[in-house]
A and B are shown apart, each in its own frame.
Chain A
Amino acid sequence: MDTLSALADGFSIALTFQNLGLALIGCFLGTIIGALPGLGPSNGVAILIPLAFTLGLPATPALILLTSVYYGAMYGGRISSILLNIPGDEPALMTTLDGYPMARKGMAGEALALSGIASFVGAFFATWGLVFLAPQLVKVALLFGPAEYFALFALAFATLGGIASKNQAKAALAAGIGLGIAMIGVDGQTGVPRFTFGEVHLYDGIDFLVAIVGLFALSEVFIFLEHRGTAKATGDASDIKLGRLTPPMSMLKQTVPTMARSTVLGFIAGVLPGAGASLGSFISYSVEKRLVDKNNTFGTGDPRGVAAPEAGNNAAAGGALVPMLALGVPGSGTTAVLLAMLLALNITPGPLLFTNNPDVVWGLIAALFIGNVMLLVMNIPMVSLFVRVLLVPPRYLMPAVAMISFVGIYGISGSTFDLMVMVFFGVLGWILRKLDVPLVPIILGVLLGNQMEANMRRAMTISDGDWSALFASPLSIGLWLFAFFGFILPIIAGRFFRPKFPRTDSEADPD
């Protein structure tokens, strides 16, 4: 087995004290960066690039440090999703759906530990996928032309219904708002600015992070202000239950099939450049909801609803390294930053990277395994530390959330305009919460809408406006069929099989 001996060589490169130390620092910083709203994996990696330069690190240790931060941030994003209902970064968005309700039910410890384990499973098996399948998987990425990407995004939207809300119309409205926001900015296919009102700051569109932090974090602060003085807002900490700190075996057993399926789906989404981790966690969650949500427990704190997106987005993080290493094409924002780092270190990414720089590639892959184990070991004991966030009375916690939001967003672009946009989204989020409109589909609309439109327009340009090009390849026909049945089946099946009794715990977004 060439691959295994190459991997063994990789381990011999990665297993030095310096590299292990760097991996430890990277994992720790990454977890913190991921947990802070506004700071995501791509900012985290970018912030640490100068550090790697300043320390004069050679290629392999530098990459080990940065990929540890990357994996750490993917782990960390879930923490604030679960504890505060504020996604730490885009891929952790879906984790709020069941993670936060679990925390409200006094199961914060279990949710954190379970999501840690799901993250580990996703990332661990995705890294094996990277080891054995990278060259083959590149061919899958090549199968996806604009028409196929369009079908893939259509599939994502078709399975959107019912997620995050019991009221389908409100979910659709929210997705529509998201799509509308996605249209802001210069249209790449014609070069014409849309809905920018001559404001140069809007030419690049709305940054997802600004929208997420505004909608989730700031609106939470506004809700708190509204309720100030009441018992809920001043927060009597004594009646908050933290729950146990390890998930019971039965819960793990229940979530194993979920993790397995989500890992595969997330990994595939990661491999496709232009899809990425957010799509990975989204598809994992929605497929899992379709498959196993027999009693309508998803969205109310179902452990499987926590395991699915976490396994999915961490598997996608591993998957995104496939096109980066094997093609030199970034599959996500973070891998784009890593790619720039490789260039700066005199390594040309591309199809020959595995042949020309095996020490870098295999050292990196070995480091991923090490970082992964390290993150699991570090995260499980830290659960008890994280859950204490819930003990902080909201009157201290909320100002801190507001401060971190402002600092984080200012740090991305260094412009005060983004802060105003964030406040706008905060107010919008507050109003929508009052109206009981779910926020998650808005972000999905923004995240997926742009890509969906761009790919449709590309397909149309290539085919000279012939719509049949969208259904021309077997792959796209297959995706359309999935989309069709994903949309139709729940409507039919729901009518016949859905339990008739109303749920007792159908408490909506607990405002």
Chain B
Amino acid sequence: MKNFITRLAATAVAVVSLTAAAHAFDPGATECIAPANPGGGWDFTCRQVGKTLQDLKLVPGTMQVTNMAGGGGGVAYAEVINKRNDANNLIIAASSATSTRLAQGAYPGNTMDQVRWVASVGADYGIIAVAKDSAINTLPELMDMIKADPTSVSIAGGSAVGGWDHLKVLMAAKKAGIADVRTIKYVAFDGGGEAVTQLLGGSVQAFTGDASEAKGFVDSGDIKVLAVLAPERLEGDFASFPTAKEQGIDVIGANWRGFYAPGGSSDEAYDYWVNAIGTVYDSAEWKDVMAQNGLAPLNLRGADFQAFVADSVASITDISKEIGLIK
């Protein structure tokens, strides 16, 4: 405890001198909103980045993590826009799920340009996998089976219908030349873990999820990864698995993780946060966190990140219209 107090004091001193030199902006007591219950991906993003910010002495003291669950992130989104629009000490965890819901109008009355998109801290690329004893060995084989008889393949994923795990499969199927993607059987489970269990139990034929969700099962050899939905092969344990692109199906499914800030925050505050998150991203500590958690590089900051989110919202809007999720 004494150690902790000393560290806290040291942090405070360091931060005061550091921020005084580097930026004119002092964030004060910082806060990160995780728009979900503790234990999920957004909570993890806030806590890990908060811890790294603290360890690198980029924020004074500890960053407070507030869990604001509800509406798949919509409650927090509305709260930030309506009540905390000019808060300068606040960032909010976001991911592909945020842009998916924004694209599908699942945050009623809110759009992506009502907040300022700060930076990404990495991406979790999608995978499509089957059980280890499955006869299917490549992604085109799976797609051919679906083409021949859509009822023969059930695909399990951890998100609801219309969610990111579902959309990834649909995008791949479209690229593989399946005309009516609505015929694809997607079964929604509560999280990737449950979905993989059903794959192992034989209730479903294929699994769609993120690389990090499947890592434990890939290591143990219980599942066979057909394709990684990344621009190029991943590093580490996943290096031996081909990308979808290599197999002629040009699709990328990146579940990015990052932050947004309130739309009315000052330019100084925005620059401060872009800088701080960027410094975290560049640090050796964060490299370790990424390696441990199966996060692949995705380094977008400030205006680049804003454009990236706008892009992904636009493309998700297109495919959601196509499958009839939105009009």
Contact = CB atoms under 8 A, between A and B. Distances in A.
Q: Is the interface of A mostly helix, strand, loop or mixed?
A: helix
Given A186-B160, A329-B194, A415 B203 contact: no
Contacts of A50: 47, 62, 65
B66 interface: yes
Interface string A179-218: 0000000111111000000101111100000000000000
A207 to B, nearest CB: 8
Contact of A344 (B47, B79, B197): B47
Given A188-B188, A458-B189, A462-B203, A46 B38 contact: yes
B197 A458 contact: no
Nearest to B199: A142
Contacts of B215: 348, 350
A413 B69 contact: yes
Interface string A462-477: 1010000000000000
B70 A343 contact: no
B193 interface: yes
Nearest to A411: B67
A203 B162 contact: no
A336 interface: yes
Given A336-B39, A415-B75, A461-B187, A273 B193 contact: yes
B44 A344 contact: yes
Interface residues of A, number: 60
A201 to B, nearest CB: 5
Interface in B1-43: 1, 3-4, 37-40, 43
A233 interface: no
B47 A417 contact: no
Contact of A204 (B44, B65, B70, B216): B70
A268 to B, nearest CB: 16
Given A186-B160, A188-B160, A337-B38, A200 B71 contact: yes
Given A191-B161, A415-B75, A327 B203 contact: no
A227 B222 CA distance: 62
Interface residues of B, number: 62
Contacts of A343: 44, 292-293
Contacts of A339: 39, 193
B194 A413 contact: no
Given A350-B220, A414-B66, A417-B70, A189 B194 contact: no
- For the complex of A and B, the 10 pairs showing the least CB-CB separation, nearest first, are A350-B216, A46-B38, A145-B203, A191-B162, A329-B193, A351-B220, A337-B39, A142-B201, A200-B71, A203-B71
27 contacts: A45-B38, A47-B38, A55-B1, A141-B197, A142-B201, A145-B198, A146-B203, A188-B160, A189-B161, A200-B78, A203-B71, A203-B106, A273-B194, A333-B37, A333-B39, A340-B39, A343-B293, A344-B48, A346-B292, A350-B217, A351-B216, A351-B220, A415-B70, A454-B188, A461-B187, A462-B204, A464-B151
Interface of B: 1, 3-4, 37-40, 43-44, 47-48, 51, 62, 65-72, 74-75, 78-79, 104, 106-108, 151, 154, 160-163, 185-191, 193-194, 196-198, 200-204, 215-217, 219-220, 222, 288, 292-293, 325
Interface of A: 42-43, 45-47, 49-50, 53-56, 141-146, 186-191, 198, 200-204, 273-274, 323, 327-330, 333, 336-337, 339-340, 343-344, 346, 348-353, 412-415, 417, 454, 458, 461-462, 464
